[in-house]
Structure 1
Amino acid sequence: MKFKTWDINLKVRLFGEALLDISFWTVFPFLTLYFSAALGRTTTSMLLIFSQILAVFAALLGGYFADNFGRKRMMSISVIGEGLGFLIFAVGATNLLHSPYLSFFGFTLASIFMSFYQPASQAMIADVVSPEHRSHVYSVFYMMVNIAVVIGPVLGSIVFHDFTVQTLLTITAADLLLLFLLQKFGHETAPLVIHPELRASSDRKNIWAVLKEQLTNYQLIFKDKIFFLYIIAGIIVAQAFMQLDLLFPLYIQEVIGDTSFLGITISGERLFGVIVSINGFCVALLTVVVTRLMTRYKEKFVFMNSSFLYGISILMFGLFTSAWGAILAIILFSFAELMTVGIQQNFVSQLAPEDKRAMYFSAAGLRYTLGKVIAPLAITLSTLIGYFSTFFIIAILAFISGIIYYYMYKQFEKRQQLQKGRE
């Protein structure tokens, strides 16, 4: 599918979201450092957990809002809310006010509206792209995000610490630009909005009714033992890969600190920017190659060894106190991430009944949303028992998730054999 044949909605979003993603990743990796310095690690940990709990509920409602109120409308509202959140963050960060709690409120508000944005964004692609071309379009947007992960942290390591307010105002400006592009060139694609006569089959519900319905659906899904194991293993291993934005920046700044890299002395904060960029570069460059390589092996060994490799790389971070040690660890960390990128969705599609496939994919996202709720506890734990002990515990959890994945696949293989026997 050539770019010139893309729907105007996709062209507008690709440009606008690229600018927004770069702006966002200029700030996001350094937020743990910023709030820990202002509020302390324990308080920051608790506040991050609270903000992610709110984001989880927002994510549960986002799909319903996008279906019933429209993709364009929800994306526009989300962009406005995110821009307002970062504007409040900027006001709280000014020398005149200097209120970290106000800044954190702004960040939480932005996180909630970002959770509203994604379901509408993903659904819009499905609305305007034929099934045979969707994978290509999704991969282009995925590639753009990873390019932003490469560029943003490098910029952030240079500007965020010294020009915090200006950087946050730039993100607000990027949100306003995306809003203008959506309003000027975008058009609505939601079936219920385009064809109001379909409304009879989807009557409006209040927020609590929608939330209750979503939770009931998840309860039914979790009765599938294999899928439940998949979610549990995913939440456990999430504690490893989410430390890239939580514990790693603190560790690099406080333990590695100023160090020599390629003959140049750089601060811990800038080294962290390099680390995140290497991770993004590896993902952007090697996703297709590693995915193709992993298809040669049994999925149960890929999932299991990915978790084991996460555990090894986490231990390496705790053992090495040099720039090159951290770089070697992040390369292994990135490979662990890449191993399962291409096969996770395939496993869910095999597991899910055809009439519940969308519901299963939605529930599968809980691995990350619930993982985000728990992961900040590592910041508090590092305060109590130190970095190495915390890394050791996270590595053990990663190893445990690998064992769960292996057991899960053994059960899945038994189910497939029983189904073949019945046929």
Structure 2
Amino acid sequence: MKFSTWDINLKVRLFGEALLDISFWTVFPFLTLYFSDEIGRQLTSLLLIISQFLAVITALLGGYFADVYGRKRMMSISVVGEGIGFLIFAIGALPFIQSPYLSFFGFTIASIFMAFYQPASQAMIADVVKPEHRSHVYSVFYMMINIAVVIGPIIGAVVFHDFTVETLLAITFFDIVLLFLLQKFGHETAPLALNPELRKEQANKNLGTVLLEQVKNYQLIFKDKIFFLYILAGIIISQSFMQLDLLFPLFIKEEIGTSQFLGMTLSGEELFGIIVSINGFCVAALTVFMTRWMTRYNEKYVFMNSSFLYGIAIMLFALSTGALSAIFAIILFSFAELMTVGIQQILFRNWHRKINERCIFRQPVFAIRSVRLLHH
């Protein structure tokens, strides 16, 4: 599928989201270090857990809102909320205010609204792209995110510590740019939102009815034992993956500290930025190759070996004493991640087809998929 044949929604989103993702990844990997310095490690860990838990709950409801109120509308609301959240974050970081709790409140708001974006984004692709081309479009957006993961941390390692407020304001600015693109060039694609009668019927339901419907939808999904175990295992393995964002920066700063690499002296923050960028580069450069390679093998053993390598990589991180060993660990970590990327795409595509055959709402699958993508 050529880029010239893409729906205008996808073209403007790819450009706007690229700018926003690069600016976001300039900040995100360094938040743990920032808040740990301001309010302490233990409180930072607790607040981050609460913040991301709220974001996960939001993502699970995001599919419903995207169906009822429309993809474009929910994406626009998400972008506005994210921009406001990072603006509050920036205000709290101003030198004459210096309120880390206000900053964290802003980050939590941004996280919640960001979680609304993914289900609508995934569903919009399904609306405007034929099934045989969806995996290609998903892979382009996935590659774009990982290019941002390469570029963002490198920039952040240089600018975030000294230009925190300016960097946060840049995210707010790119939120405005994406909002403009969505409003100017985007169009609604949700079948339910385009039908006034069905939309009115859904919108008139009270919150209790909506939540009950969502519970029933998820009950039907989780009756599939294999899919349920897959989601459960995915949540468990994601706990190790999330350490890349939450625990590793503190570990590198406090345990490895200043180190030498290729004749350069790197601070803990700079080394962490390089490590995150290497992870993003590996994913962006090797996704297609690894997908073709891994689809030759039994899915069960691919997932098992991926989990095993995740564990080995985490152990190597714990034993790292310098830049070289930490970089080797992240390369192994990235390899474990890439083993399952293509298989996950196939699994969700097949499950989405099965759900359509059963006439169940699509949003639970997009919501679950978004929970798994929330931190990447």
Question: What is the TM-score with the length of structure 1 in the denominator?
Answer: 0.83
Does the C-alpha gap of structure 1 residues 122 and 227 become closer, same or farther in structure 2, counting only changes over 3 Å?
closer
Structure 2 counterpart of 1:25, which letter? Answer: W
Distance 1:191 1:244, change over 3 A: same
Aligned to 1:239: 239
Aligned partners of 1:28, 1:168: CA distance in 2, in Å? 10
Q: Which is worse superposed, 353-362 or 321-330?
A: 353-362
Q: Relative to structure 1, is the Cα distance of residues 180 and 174 closer, same or farther in structure 2, using a 3 angstrom cutoff?
A: same
Q: Distance in 2 between matches of 1:122 and 1:232?
A: 21
Shift of 1:222: 3.0
For 1:229-308, what aligned pairs fall within 5 Å after superposition? Answer: 229-308=229-308
- Find out whether 1:361 has 2:358 as its counterpart: no
Q: 1:62 maps to which residue? A: 62
Report the equivalent of 1:106.
106
TM-superposed CA distance for 1:359, in Å, is 6.4
Letter in 1 for 2:101: Y
SS at match of 2:342: coil
Q: Which residue of 2 aligns with 1:215?
A: 215
Q: Is the 8 A contact 2:56 2:371 kept in 1?
A: no
Partner Cα distance (1:27, 1:208) in 2: 37
Q: Is the 8 A contact 1:291 1:341 kept in 2?
A: yes
Is the Cα contact below 8 Å between 1:89 and 1:103 reproduced in 2?
yes
Matched residue SS, 1:296: coil
Q: 1:128 to 1:296 in 2, by over 3 A?
A: closer
3-state secondary structure, aligned to 2:265: strand
Deviation at 1:349, TM superposition (A): 5.5
After the TM superposition, which residues 12-411 of structure 1 pair with which residues of structure 2 at under 5 Å, given as runs? Answer: 12-199=12-199, 202=202, 204-347=204-347, 354-355=357-358, 358=362, 361-362=365-366, 364-365=368-369, 368=372
Task: Verify the 8 A CA contact 1:306 1:340 in the aligned structure 2.
Answer: yes
> Partners of 1:97 and 1:237 in 2: how far apart?
39
Cα–Cα, structure 1 residues 96 and 200, in superposed 2: closer, same or farther, change >3 Å? closer
Root mean square deviation, CA, Å: 2.1
What stretches of structure 2 of length at least 5 have no aligned partner? none
Contact 2:118–2:370 at 8 Å: present in 1 too? Answer: no
The 3-state SS of whatever aligns with 1:57 is helix
Identity of aligned residues (%): 73
2:260 touches 2:266 (CA, 8 Å); kept in 1?
yes
1:252 & 1:113 partners in 2: Cα distance? 30
Is the 2:33–2:249 Cα contact (8 Å) retained in structure 1? yes
Equivalent pair of 1:238/1:367 in contact (CA under 8 Å): no
Unaligned runs of 5+ in 1: 373-423
| Kept in 1: contact 2:119–2:363 (CA 8 A) | no
Show the counterpart of 1:409.
Answer: none
- Tell me if the contact between 1:348 and 1:360 (Cα under 8 Å) persists in the aligned partners: no
Take 1:260 and 1:20, find their aligned partners in 2: how far apart are those partners? 32
Query: 1:7 corresponds to which residue?
Result: 7
Q: Is the 8 A contact 2:66 2:119 kept in 1?
A: yes
Q: How far 1:249 sits from its partner (Å)?
A: 0.7
SS at structure 2 position matched to 1:137: helix
Tell me the equivalent position of 1:399.
Answer: none
Q: Give the secondary-structure state (helix, strand or coil) at the position aligned to 1:342.
A: helix
The normalised TM-score by structure 2 is: 0.93
Distance 2:4 2:298 in 1: 39
Single out whichever of 182-191 and 278-287 deviates more from structure 2.
Answer: 182-191
Q: How far apart are the structure 2 equivalents of 1:44 and 1:135?
A: 38
- Name the amino acid aligned to 1:80: V
Code of the residue aligned with 2:179 in structure 1: it is L
Contact persistence 2:59–2:371 (CA under 8 A): no
Conserved in 2, the CA contact under 8 Å of 1:61 and 1:210? no
Q: CA deviation at 1:5?
A: 2.0
- Following TM superposition, by how much is the alpha carbon of 1:124 offset from its aligned partner in structure 2, in angstroms? 1.6
Are the equivalent residues in 1 in contact too, given 2:18–2:144 (CA < 8 A)?
Answer: yes
**What's the CA shift for 1:295?**
1.6
Over 3 Å counting, the alpha-carbon distance change for 1:330 and 1:357 in structure 2 is farther
Contact 2:67 2:363 in 1 (8 A): no
Separation of aligned partners in 1, 2:218 and 2:107? 28
Larger CA deviation: 247-256 vs 63-72? 63-72
Q: Counterpart of 1:368 in structure 2: which amino acid?
A: R
The residue type equivalent to 2:15 in the other structure is: F
Q: Distance in 2 between matches of 1:312 and 1:163?
A: 36
Q: 1:191 to 1:173 in 2, by over 3 A?
A: same
Amino acid at match of 1:150: V
**Are 1:158 and 1:270, in contact at CA under 8 Å, matched by a contact in 2?**
yes
